[in-house]
């Protein structure tokens, strides 16, 4: 999809508001989809909170496919897309973490490398 046709959304629409689960799902599903969102139309905080927010809210219908649940964000303020997150609120050691957005971007990169670089 052309950049000009990409319509962005933001988790700011629901972080401090009571929004129906259906709207939360709609927003985070757009953010996690690399074909619908991009850094030109979606703010940084939204990409970094699209997995932690619905998990912490226990949003019905929210699913994370292809990612081990052990590395999903455990608290609402985990804003790591990929890497190690030290829990400032609950203490304890830093733990590996990833979001759906980072998993989708990684899959896109691997697909590109395999199709454009390794098969040449």
pLDDT at 87 over 90: no
Q: Terminal CA-to-CA distance of the chain, rounded, Å?
A: 25
Reported as a single tens digit per residue, the pLDDT across 89-99 is: 777 788 889 99
Total number of residues shown for the chain: 120
Token pair recorded at residue 65: 């496919």
Return mean pLDDT, the chain: 86
- Per-residue confidence at 80, pLDDT binned at 50, 70, 90? confident
- Integer Cα distance of 30 and 25 in angstroms: 8
- Integer Cα distance of 104 and 54 in angstroms: 17
Yes or no: say if 31 and 37 are a contact pair by the CB < 8 Å rule: yes
The total number of structural domains that make up the chain: 1
Q: Which domain holds residue 75?
A: 3-117
* Residue 21 confidence (pLDDT): 92
pLDDT at 24 over 60: yes
- Integer Cα distance of 13 and 94 in angstroms: 29
pLDDT at 2 over 80: no
CB atoms within 10 A of CB 32: 20
Yes or no: say if 15 and 24 are a contact pair by the CB < 8 Å rule: no
- Integer Cα distance of 70 and 72 in angstroms: 6
């Amino acid at each position: 999809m052309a950049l000009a046709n990409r319509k962005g959304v933001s988790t700011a629409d629901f972080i401090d508001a009571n929004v129906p689960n259906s709207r939360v799902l709609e927003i985070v599903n757009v953010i996690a989809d690399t074909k619908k969102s991009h850094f030109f139309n979606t703010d940084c905080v939204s990409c970094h909170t699209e997995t932690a927010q619905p998990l912490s809210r226990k949003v019905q219908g929210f699913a994370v496919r292809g990612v081990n649940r052990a590395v999903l964000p455990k608290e609402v303020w985990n804003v790591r897309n990929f890497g190690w997150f030290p829990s400032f609120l609950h203490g304890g050691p830093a733990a590996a973490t990833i979001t759906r957005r980072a998993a989708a971007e990684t899959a896109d990169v691997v697909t590109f490398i395999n199709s454009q670089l390794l098969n040449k």
